[in-house]
Amino acid sequence: MHQKILNIRQFFNFKTIGRYVHHNHNHYKLSYVSSINKIPFLDQTTSQRIDYAAEKYTEKDSFVFHETGDRWNFVTLKKKIDDLATGLLALGLEKGDRVAIWAPNCAEWILTQYATASAGFIMVNINPSFKALELEYALKKVNCKAIILSENFKNQDYVEILVSICPEISSSNGIINSKTLPDLKSAILISDQKKKGFYSFNQVANGGETEQIIKLEGIKKKCQFSDPINIQFTSGTTGSPKAVTLSHHMLLNNSYFVGLTQEYHKHPTRICLQVPLFHCFGMVFGSLSSIIHGSTCVIPSRTFNPEKSLEAISIEKCTNIYGTPTMFIDLYTNRNLAKYDLSSVHGGIMAGSVCPLDVVDNCIKKLNTKNICVIYGMTETSPAITVSSIKDSLKHRTQSIGRTKEHLEVKIVDSEGKIVPVNEPGELLVRGYNTMIGYWGEKEKTEEIYTSDRFLRTGDIVRMDEDGFFYHQGRLKDMVIRGGENIYPKEIEEFLHQNEKVDDVYVVGIPDKRLGEELCACIRVKSGETLTPDEIKLFCKDKISNFKIPKYVEFMDDFPQTVSGKIKKNVLKEQIIKKMGL
């Protein structure tokens, strides 16, 4: 049998390139990659992986909650997960029921993630910033049967918001009968205070009876790794958020292969997890790294706080930092940076938004993240598509978005769907284990994002070079057409970041009667510096094509963004158009 495998490989002339095996390629000519890896998929459910981690890593820290001082080893983690799972079963929840979690980063969020997966429920991630209408939309969209919620977040009273949607809670004795939310039967409050109509999280987390313990073990045995376990809503920067449905297999393997590229399996890893857990970045690359690779996840605070993050990194000796570009900027520009010991840090992951080159460079110089890597993906791909490895050159780790993740097919196509030659931009499409089951309850929108041969359209403009490295050039919908010229804002943003006085910049297209669209550069100037529109235009002169030089320059203190750090370019564009009276 072994000889047959060797013969097949010789027949197809497989070549090894870095960590991948590709078909017949030393250098690519077309923008298409089929990445084959000798490392097989994980064939486990989440609960099976929890059991594995508890047995292998036992007394090692799994999670550390810096703000509260709580820390759990892997044995404690498993016990707490099983207790909450049986407690939820005691409320009458059944396999396949949707359970929402509406809370910032906290211990209860982590337990909910794993308890729902163990009991066969589907956890629904609710954005902590959601208001009443958004919450109602999400709960209705996927027919949530239970919700676990914090008392508050920032200036929002979660209890008040939920009761405004579902006033029947206040008069219920645990079982809700709501006209607005007919499927919702239980509300579980993360609080030391008792409130009528709400179960206490601690009460439920104390566990069920023998009946539920037996039932949980039966469910664990019946669960398949292809079962859905998570629904995440797209950021909703345009249109209504869509409910992306993901499985054990997608999420666990995404975390597994990303962790391998960062060599988590070779070295003890302590991750500063400052990104939101409700987002794929935090939940998959962060939280799941604990049970997948035995990593320790250090959660600095309920919501991002640069001072708390630096404090946690210093005290807990974090080795890796996770963050969006904005978060990293806030860390290395912190006025108290010098007082923190960052000597334990050697790596990190930057994702969640476009990663400017100068930001990556500053992270390496000021935060000691010499092995920092960039990940590109989307919620619909659970989430990674490309990733840079710590073995890649510094140039590739800072200037590209990496190479195709293991076991995926990726191609870049033109407007007619034809694969383009290398170094030509086009839309990136992906096919493989990581693409979502679908948008919950939206068959037509699911079919729209997939091609007939099951490639998922990302809507991103990307370029691939001869060695298989990818370069993000912007969103298809963000492309500006000025007088017939296609302009990619990302290219101009990268260029303007080279100006030493520019802290951050985003370029949008605004209406123009003659040319169709003109460019506007929205710039945040570094503290203590001054800039004028003429200085920006002079900086561009003779360095980029004239048609790429922004006609308008607006200076701003902040940019509209989602809670996960993505810039809302559509909102930014609307603000500029309104300001200019166009």
Please determine, for residue 305, whether its predicted confidence score (pLDDT) is greater than 80. yes
CATH code of residue 511: 3.30.300.30
- Average pLDDT in the 346-369 region? 87
Q: Looking at 233, 253, 284, which one is the last position of a domain?
A: 233
Q: Looking at 428, 453, 473, which one is the last position of a domain?
A: 473
| Tokens standing for residue 392 | 């890649």
The verdict on residue 525 lying in a domain is yes
The verdict on residue 348 lying in a domain is yes
Whole-number pLDDT of residue 563: 67
pTM, two decimal places: 0.85
Whether residues 346 and 315 share a domain: the answer is: yes
| Residue 215 to residue 119: CA distance in whole angstroms | 9
Whole-number pLDDT of residue 354: 64
Between residues 290 and 561, the one the model is more confident about: 290
Find which of 90-104, 356-370, 537-551 is predicted with most confidence, using mean pLDDT: 90-104
Q: Which residue from 201, 197, 202, 203 is spatially nearest to 184, judged by alpha carbons?
A: 197
Residues 6+ apart with CB under 8 A from 225: 42, 43, 44, 45, 247, 248, 249, 252
| Tokens standing for residue 276 | 């939101």
Whether residues 404 and 263 share a domain: the answer is: yes
Whether residues 141 and 272 share a domain: the answer is: no
The verdict on residue 54 lying in a domain is no
Please determine, for residue 243, whether its predicted confidence score (pLDDT) is greater than 80. yes
DSSP state of 353: S
Q: Which residue from 481, 484, 533 is spatially nearest to 505, judged by alpha carbons?
A: 533
Please determine, for residue 54, whether its predicted confidence score (pLDDT) is greater than 70. yes
Whether residues 295 and 437 share a domain: the answer is: yes
Domain that holds residue 376: 243-445+461-473
DSSP letters for 387-449: E--TTS-HHHHHHS--EEPTTEEEEEE-TTSPBPBTT--EEEEEEETTS-SEETT-HHHHHHH
DSSP letters for 62-80: EEEETTTTEEEEHHHHHHH
Q: Identify the band that residue 4 occupies on the pLDDT scale cut at 50, 70 and 90.
A: very low
- Average pLDDT in the 384-394 region? 92
The verdict on residue 353 lying in a domain is yes
- Average pLDDT in the 271-285 region? 96
Whether residues 269 and 412 share a domain: the answer is: yes
Please determine, for residue 268, whether its predicted confidence score (pLDDT) is greater than 70. yes
Whether residues 371 and 504 share a domain: the answer is: no
The verdict on residue 409 lying in a domain is yes
Percentage of residues in the chain having pLDDT higher than 90: 79
| Residue 462 to residue 475: CA distance in whole angstroms | 9
Q: Which three-class secondary structure state does DSSP give residue 549?
A: coil
Whole-number pLDDT of residue 6: 33
| Residue 18 to residue 45: CA distance in whole angstroms | 29
| Residue 176 to residue 449: CA distance in whole angstroms | 37
Whole-number pLDDT of residue 353: 66
Whole-number pLDDT of residue 564: 65
Whether residues 281 and 421 share a domain: the answer is: yes
Least confident residue range of 212-221, 238-247, 260-269: 238-247
Q: Are 436 and 381 in contact (CB under 8 A)?
A: yes
Residues 6+ apart with CB under 8 A from 455: 409, 411, 429, 430, 431
Whether residues 218 and 295 share a domain: the answer is: no
The verdict on residue 44 lying in a domain is no
- Supply the Cα-derived Rg of the chain in whole angstroms: 24
Whole-number pLDDT of residue 118: 98
Please determine, for residue 68, whether its predicted confidence score (pLDDT) is greater than 70. yes
Q: Are 370 and 397 in contact (CB under 8 A)?
A: no
- Average pLDDT in the 442-453 region? 95
- Cα angle value 251/253/254 (rounded, 5°): 65
Least confident residue range of 16-30, 153-167, 209-223, 326-340: 16-30
- Average pLDDT in the 38-58 region? 97
CATH code of residue 176: 3.40.50.12780
Between residues 130 and 177, the one the model is more confident about: 177
Q: Which three-class secondary structure state does DSSP give residue 115?
A: helix
Which residue is listed with tokens 């041969």? 453
Whole-number pLDDT of residue 476: 84
Q: Identify the band that residue 255 occupies on the pLDDT scale cut at 50, 70 and 90.
A: very high
Between residues 339 and 36, the one the model is more confident about: 339
Average pLDDT, the chain: 91
| Tokens standing for residue 346 | 């050697």
Between residues 179 and 545, the one the model is more confident about: 179
The strand pairing partners of 372, in sequence order, are 348
Q: Identify the band that residue 8 occupies on the pLDDT scale cut at 50, 70 and 90.
A: very low
> Which ranges constitute the DSSP H helices of 223-376?
248-261, 280, 288-293, 306-316, 325-332, 357-367
CA dihedral 284, 288, 294, 300 (to 10 degrees): 80
Whether residues 286 and 316 share a domain: the answer is: yes
Whether residues 105 and 210 share a domain: the answer is: yes
Please determine, for residue 23, whether its predicted confidence score (pLDDT) is greater than 70. no
Q: Which residue from 147, 149, 157, 154 is spatially nearest to 303, judged by alpha carbons?
A: 154
The verdict on residue 566 lying in a domain is yes
| Residue 427 to residue 459: CA distance in whole angstroms | 6
Q: Are 319 and 268 in contact (CB under 8 A)?
A: yes
Whole-number pLDDT of residue 360: 86
Least confident residue range of 83-87, 112-116, 153-157: 153-157
Q: Looking at 453, 473, 493, which one is the last position of a domain?
A: 473
Please determine, for residue 40, whether its predicted confidence score (pLDDT) is greater than 60. yes
Please determine, for residue 281, whether its predicted confidence score (pLDDT) is greater than 60. yes
Whether residues 119 and 155 share a domain: the answer is: yes
Between residues 420 and 236, the one the model is more confident about: 420
Q: Which residue from 137, 375, 325, 349 is spatially nearest to 233, judged by alpha carbons?
A: 137
Structural domain count of the chain = 3
The verdict on residue 69 lying in a domain is no
Please determine, for residue 20, whether its predicted confidence score (pLDDT) is greater than 60. no
Whole-number pLDDT of residue 239: 58
Whether residues 81 and 205 share a domain: the answer is: yes
| Residue 166 to residue 160: CA distance in whole angstroms | 10
Per DSSP (E only), the strands in 103-200 are 122-125, 146-150, 152-153, 156-157, 186-190, 199-200
